[in-house]
Amino acid sequence: MAHDPSHGRRSESERGAPLAASAYGGLAADAAAHLEQSASAVESLCGTPAEIRRQADCLLQWALTRGVLLTPAYTEGLERHLGVTSEHEVFYRASDNRAVKRTYPGSFGFANGPKGKPRPATPLFYLHRLELMRELFGVDLRLEGVGLGPPRSSSEEPERPYIVISQEWIDALDAEEPSPSEQEISDFMMSLGFTRMEDSCYRWRRPSDQPGEPSLIVLDTKPDNFIKSAHGVVPIDLIIGFEHEG
């Protein structure tokens, strides 16, 4: 995610709504716990469209209770990142040099599917994925809140929930070639104890440290999902879950 920090900077008053009042720390874990307790969603990490909708409605109620229900004004005035992703709309917030990512309404990214094929994820899987990105890769991902918007399929459909997260904006070492090479990604993953799965060059497994516990699976390790910064290889949007969730 390469960016010239001097480009498009705006004052605090120009960037739209203020940050959510709730503390960022633990917000994703709190939302996940609410879904597990209120939606009985422990085993529903990769659910059907009906399950995704049920969890999304429960997440919306959580946001209302926690005071983190966001309006479209939250991203108004932010610089929109021109790159298109399958999971998020991406903005640049100059006031704290962060990328703000908004899932498409009614959609919460992708999860591990059969034979490594990604499939639509539930809100609970998405929240667990944020936690795993922080734990495994040290990425400063923050859940900022939940909003409502029209689905991409039709603006005439009822508004559906979406999730807003943010992470530190990573400047590429080389703006012309911001992504690391396949070999650099491979070295990075192996340094963290992952081994490439035989059925795909973009799937990796790491056994659990605890006997009997499922292995971690990381999908979609394509160069576009990493940035090569001055500090090394930084993952941006990886699909992470446990082997039994496929």
* Rounded average pLDDT per 10-residue block, the chain, 246 residues: 36 35 68 85 65 93 96 92 81 94 93 74 92 90 95 78 95 93 96 89 88 87 93 91 69
Name the residue type at position 21.
Answer: A
What integer pLDDT is reported at residue 39 of this predicted model?
65
What integer pLDDT is reported at residue 34 of this predicted model?
93
Name the residue type at position 159.
Answer: E
* Cβ partners under 8 Å of residue 94, min gap 6: 5, 8, 9, 10, 15, 79
Strands 160-168 and 79-80, bridge-based pairing: unpaired
Alpha helices in 120-202, H assignment, sequence order: 123-137, 182-191
Q: Which helix (H) or strand (E) holds 57?
A: helix 49-66
What integer pLDDT is reported at residue 5 of this predicted model?
33
Q: Which helix (H) or strand (E) holds 205?
A: strand 204-206
What integer pLDDT is reported at residue 84 of this predicted model?
64
Give the integer Cα–Cα distance in Å for 140 and 167: 5
Q: How far, CA to CA in Å, does 245 sit from each of 187, 191, 226, 229, 241?
A: 26, 24, 24, 32, 7
Q: How far, CA to CA in Å, does 181 sit from each of 23, 78, 215, 238, 245?
A: 37, 31, 26, 16, 29
Q: Please compute, for residue 39, the number of CA atoms within 13 A of its CA located in the half-sphere on the CB side.
A: 28
What integer pLDDT is reported at residue 228 of this predicted model?
96
What integer pLDDT is reported at residue 86 of this predicted model?
81
Tell me the three state secondary structure of residue 100. Answer: strand
Whether residue 167 contacts residue 98, with contact meaning beta carbons closer than 8 Å, is answered with yes
